[in-house]
Structure 1
Amino acid sequence: MVDAVVSHYRQNLELKELAALAGCSVRQLQRRFKQEKRLGPMEYVIQLRMESASRMLRHTDASIGEIAYKLGYRDMYYFSRAFSRELSFPQSLRAGLHYTKLLGTYEYPDLPAVERLAPDLIICTEVHEQYLERLSGIAPVLMFKRNENWQTILSLFGELTGKRAEAKHIIADYLRRTALLSEELATVLAGKSVALIRPLDSLVRVHSAAHRTGAVLYSDLGLPVPLFVADTSDTAYHISVERLPAVQASHYFLLSNGLMQDGISATEQRVLGMLGGGEEQRVHSVDAATWIGSYGPLGINGIVDQVEQALLGVT
């Protein structure tokens, strides 16, 4: 019975339809789930959907709307509210979140909840431009670009919170660290270029220095940019897997979705097979969610840690 529900949890089915798929009555299905899962069958379906949504949100480029559709939801607002209730944070962040409230999701903010909160200031990105008029009616709005430099954001937060000195200290430490590390890396790499790539469904995204994470590698750490991605008019280029050798990098930081569904995609497998490894070409797989989703000093310094470990062997 449980297996039948697990196989169909993405479909928009009612309880009686799930019971029919399991080959039993509704009452039998409910009793079996209470015994085995201590949840009702529909509660278990929601749990499976939220776990899947969390993985897709962290490890793919899919939007909230796309995720909702894949999981059988047709009402985006309902899904946003359901996901917000189930959303959890890493243990390392929970201690500082006691006085925070979930206000919807990144793409679908719960505007009535924002109004009830009555904030003094609203901070958002250009992704929320469609809500700007309504948000401005609630409180003054500070809107950042989606790809805004984290140092700019931290400096402004320092001003707003009366912690300008602390913010300057964090940034100064980072600049000092990356300056010293860039000198070591220049010696080790000796002109060998480094690429930042992300396998998608059927293509490979090659990031440039215009991307927030690319800027850490190419601007802050001074890593040599492949000629293929020297242009910074866009944050990334999309190429076929077959064209990947044209990048001609010696080191590839591969933004992996391997944590999603406990395995890597077919495209990622092809990329790994094509690059092959060896002394002249090395691949360093890193977590895409961490490298793409890091907007502050903790995450950015974590990326620098991994670059240092990969290229210098520092643990």
Structure 2
Amino acid sequence: MGKKKTVLGAVLLLSTAFLLGACSNASSETQDSTSVSSSEATERILTDTLGNEVTILANPERIIASYLEDYLVALDTLPIAQWTVNDSSIQTYLQDELDGIPTIDFSLPYEEVLGYEPDLLLIGSTSTVEGGKYEEYTKIAPTYVVTNGEEVNWREQLNDIATVLGKEDQAQEVLATYDTLAEETKTELDEKVTDQSVAMLWVVNNSIFMVTDTRSSGAVLYGDLGLDKPALVEEISDAATADWNAVSLEKLAELDADTIFLVNSDTEAPLFEESIWKNLAAVQNDQVFEFDGDSSWLYNGPIANTNIIEDVKASLLSE
């Protein structure tokens, strides 16, 4: 009798252990399933400007966003490689944040991109993925073409990138900070700088380029800060096909700007010795404010535009 009780007790213990083990396994499987479901839930499917449905990882950490680094830095995100042209031109004004980050050619060669093992590609121009390149990039990583084109401004690009990164609230903070700075500066300019027309020029390879009034630094000067446009700026802008447009010396002679902001990438350019240049009103009145080619004036984005406003303040409101 005692032996039967012992056997029965052992069976009951084994049965209990089996049931507990089964429950434990079921619980573990449930937790694993929940974990997977939660992970999958954090992935998002977004539609880019070309209509491609792109599955974005929850927290992409290896991002390549050539020529969009300004937006990433503004959103406290660093890429794994940064834009360059021929491994010489970089966005110098961002180097406090991007120092030490290797460069990748602006054309995004397939092998170079592959070598960085990105988990997200942000493409800033539709032309970059033409000719079957989009399909090739998607074999490497999720590839999202950011809203772009002549009618798209930097604010729209910032919001689009912020959506991809899940940082929409931070983008609104960036915009609010910028708008406050722009409005306060505009008010100061209205009070202290009256009837002042300004032009933005870029000299490179002994050639002159003028910014379009609604693009790049032109949008900051004439849009955000409300500065006056000379007639020549309006004329060039009406026929503009790009952010920066070539201007002949003969045409430059018509420029009647009170102030010239100059990005000088060719300090030894012979054109500076031409009588046409020397006879410009802004030159004669010592109202040319010069910046080198490393400044932010040639770029777009919240950081570039903030720097431009600070440069305008230092130039026109320093007295």
What is the TM-score normalised by the length of structure 1? 0.60
Pairing of 1:145-224 with structure 2 (within 5 A): 145=148, 148-224=152-228
Decide whether the 8 Å contact of 1:201 with 1:267 is kept in 2.
no
* Residue equivalent to 2:288: 283
Overall identity of the aligned pairs, in %: 20
Decide whether the 8 Å contact of 2:147 with 2:156 is kept in 1.
no
Distance 1:292 1:134, change over 3 A: farther
Distance 1:91 1:307, change over 3 A: closer
Q: Give the superposed CA RMSD.
A: 3.4
* Residue equivalent to 1:242: 250
| Long gaps (5+) in structure 2 | 1-82
Q: State the Cα deviation string for residues 16-38 of structure 1 (Å, max 9, x = none).
A: xxxxxxxxxxxxxxxxxxxxxxx
* Residue equivalent to 1:230: 234
Opposite residue 245 of structure 1, the aligned amino acid is A
Structure 1 CA distance for aligned equivalents of residues 147 and 213 of structure 2 = 19
Deviation for aligned residue 1:248: 0.8
Match of 2:95 among 69, 93, 118: 93
Higher RCO (C-alpha 8 Å, min separation 6) = 2
Distance 1:289 1:145, change over 3 A: farther
Opposite residue 220 of structure 1, the aligned amino acid is D
Q: State the Cα deviation string for residues 148-184 of structure 1 (Å, max 9, x = none).
A: 5332222223222232222211110111111121122
Decide whether the 8 Å contact of 2:123 with 2:146 is kept in 1.
yes
Describe the SS at the equivalent of 1:246.
coil
Decide whether the 8 Å contact of 1:121 with 1:142 is kept in 2.
no
* Residue equivalent to 2:279: 274
Structure 1 CA distance for aligned equivalents of residues 217 and 177 of structure 2 = 18
Describe the SS at the equivalent of 1:190.
coil
* Residue equivalent to 1:142: 145
Deviation for aligned residue 1:302: 1.2
Distance 1:191 1:129, change over 3 A: farther
Distance 1:203 1:237, change over 3 A: same
Higher helix share: 1
Decide whether the 8 Å contact of 2:182 with 2:225 is kept in 1.
yes
Q: Which has the larger displacement, 147-156 or 222-231?
A: 147-156
Decide whether the 8 Å contact of 1:257 with 1:264 is kept in 2.
no
Opposite residue 118 of structure 2, the aligned amino acid is P
* Residue equivalent to 1:105: 105
Distance 1:175 1:209, change over 3 A: same
Opposite residue 255 of structure 2, the aligned amino acid is V
Distance 1:190 1:286, change over 3 A: same
Deviation for aligned residue 1:97: 6.0
Describe the SS at the equivalent of 1:205.
strand
Structure 2 CA distance for aligned equivalents of residues 202 and 179 of structure 1 = 36
What is the TM-score normalised by the length of structure 2? 0.60
Structure 2 CA distance for aligned equivalents of residues 244 and 81 of structure 1 = 31
Structure 2 CA distance for aligned equivalents of residues 226 and 238 of structure 1 = 16
Describe the SS at the equivalent of 2:279.
helix
Decide whether the 8 Å contact of 1:253 with 1:283 is kept in 2.
yes
Deviation for aligned residue 1:240: 2.0
Deviation for aligned residue 1:122: 1.6
Q: State the Cα deviation string for residues 194-242 of structure 1 (Å, max 9, x = none).
A: 1111234454222221321110111111111112222544234433223
Pairing 1:303–2:317 present: no
* Residue equivalent to 1:71: none
Structure 1 CA distance for aligned equivalents of residues 175 and 316 of structure 2 = 23
Deviation for aligned residue 1:193: 0.9
Q: Which has the larger displacement, 292-301 or 180-189?
A: 292-301
Structure 1 CA distance for aligned equivalents of residues 158 and 310 of structure 2 = 20
Q: Where has structure 1 moved over 4 Å in runs of 4 or more?
A: 80-84, 86-92, 94-98, 276-281
Pairing of 1:62-81 with structure 2 (within 5 A): none
Higher strand share: 2
Q: State the Cα deviation string for residues 36-62 of structure 1 (Å, max 9, x = none).
A: xxxxxxxxxxxxxxxxxxxxxxxxxxx
Pairing 1:253–2:261 present: yes
Q: State the Cα deviation string for residues 101-155 of structure 1 (Å, max 9, x = none).
A: 54x3113x23123235453432123241333342244333324436653322222
Opposite residue 93 of structure 1, the aligned amino acid is Q
**Paired positions, count:** 227
Deviation for aligned residue 1:253: 0.6
Opposite residue 110 of structure 1, the aligned amino acid is P
Describe the SS at the equivalent of 1:304.
helix
Structure 2 CA distance for aligned equivalents of residues 152 and 274 of structure 1 = 41
